[in-house]
Amino acid sequence: MSREWVINNYSGYKGLVLQECEKKNAGAGEIRLKIEAFALNWGDMDLMLDRYSFSFKKFPARIGMEAAGIVDQIGEGVKNIELGKRYCTLPYFYYDKGASADYVTIDSRYVTPAPENLTAVESSSVWMQFMTAYYPIVELSKASPDKNILVTAGTSTAGNAMNLTSKSVVLPVVPMFHVNAWGVPYAASMLGCKLVFPGPFTDGESIYNLINDEGVNNLLGVPTVWLGLLNYLDEKDITLKNVNSVLVGGSP
């Protein structure tokens, strides 16, 4: 029997369970990899909490699509794949075919030969960063030695920055000329986020009601705004239940 790491609900990484599973055969257009190493990134961590750009179709569900392994089976119609050679998976919306297992079947279009100078562990964890940069810079912007490219709002989707996805509901409590509004409204629109604007009412009670009424989960603003909100929360002895992050545009 093969083994797989799965989640059975959206409880985060603490809900991961190692269980036995059947080893599936590669279908038409697919290959099967014997996994040597797999990696998880911030998107996978959010996915386990149902905060990512797609949701699992069913449970139990495997996690992650960054892996390296040896091809041990090739499906019908697959070309240019060598049996017994190490390949890496390329990140994509994997739904019920995550790589957190001893074996994974995958569309042969989403693999690439592992770099010969990297170990399995190293080669399983480089592709998310590479593809994230490659597609907009090379494919969309057509980068070349004589061309300058301005990357705006480059960190708005980064896991250690704002971590915005299409499921984010963003409330920028700042004027459009302020630092938080230079790129966020554009990045949020690009990602399909819901944008909520407060208008002229930025007192604690108004902001609290807006957050609850619109389901806001990402906040941006200056310290005076959040102090007013915190004072209102303390006064009413209430909390914010849906907010994932608060970005403060102020000095230390």
Query: In sequence order, what are the residues at sequence separation of 6 or more whose Cβ sits closer than 8 angstroms to the Cβ of residue 126?
Result: 118
**Strand-pair partners of 111:** 89
Domains, the chain, in order of start with CATH, read: 2-134 (3.90.180.10), 169-248 (3.40.50.980)
The pLDDT, as a whole number, for residue 186 is 77
Give per-10-residue mean pLDDT for the chain (252 aa).
94 94 95 95 84 86 94 97 95 85 95 94 83 76 83 54 81 67 75 87 91 93 86 94 82 53
What is the rounded distance in angstroms from the CA atom of residue 43 to the CA atom of residue 92? 11
pTM: 0.61
Task: Give the HSE-up count for residue 152: Cα atoms under 13 Å, Cβ half-sphere.
Answer: 11
CB proximity list for 153: less than 8 A, separation 6 or greater? 182, 183, 184, 186, 187, 190
